[in-house]
């Protein structure tokens, strides 16, 4: 649930809630769910981009996505990457 709270808070610009949710999610996520961990890292990229560092946020999100094997990329991750790039 914290993964989704993180995204919503990141989209709304509530950095404190987003970071708290990201940290809680990291503690709770099993290693068997690498896609969710990638989402969390990409949320940080989204927050960076929305706070004015579009280049840094895009690079951060891209690095997180690239660290995940391509066969694990989902439509949701690709859409999130596009959202970061357009922020």
Per-residue pLDDT of the chain (87 residues; tens, 9 = 90+): 777 888 788 888 888 888 888 888 888 888 898 998 898 889 889 989 998 999 999 999 999 999 999 999 999 999 999 999 998
What is the pLDDT at residue 1? 76
Closest by CA position to 22, among listed 2, 38, 36: 2
Q: Is 46 within 8 Å of 11 (Cβ atoms)?
A: yes
Closest by CA position to 16, among listed 40, 47, 38, 45: 47
Any idea where the domains of the chain sit in the sequence? 2-86
What is the pLDDT at residue 55? 96
- Pinpoint the alpha helices (H) of 1-87: 2-12, 15-28, 34-50, 54-67, 75-86
Q: Is 73 within 8 Å of 60 (Cβ atoms)?
A: no
């Amino acid at each position: 649930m914290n993964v989704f709270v993180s995204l919503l808070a990141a989209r709304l610009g509530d950095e404190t809630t987003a970071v708290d949710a990201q940290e809680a999610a990291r503690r709770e996520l099993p290693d068997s769910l690498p896609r969710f961990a990638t989402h969390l890292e990409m949320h940080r990229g989204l927050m960076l981009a929305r706070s004015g560092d579009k280049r840094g946020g895009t690079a951060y999100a891209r690095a997180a996505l690239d660290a995940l094997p391509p066969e694990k990329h989902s439509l949701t991750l690709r859409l999130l990457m596009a959202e970061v790039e357009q922020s």
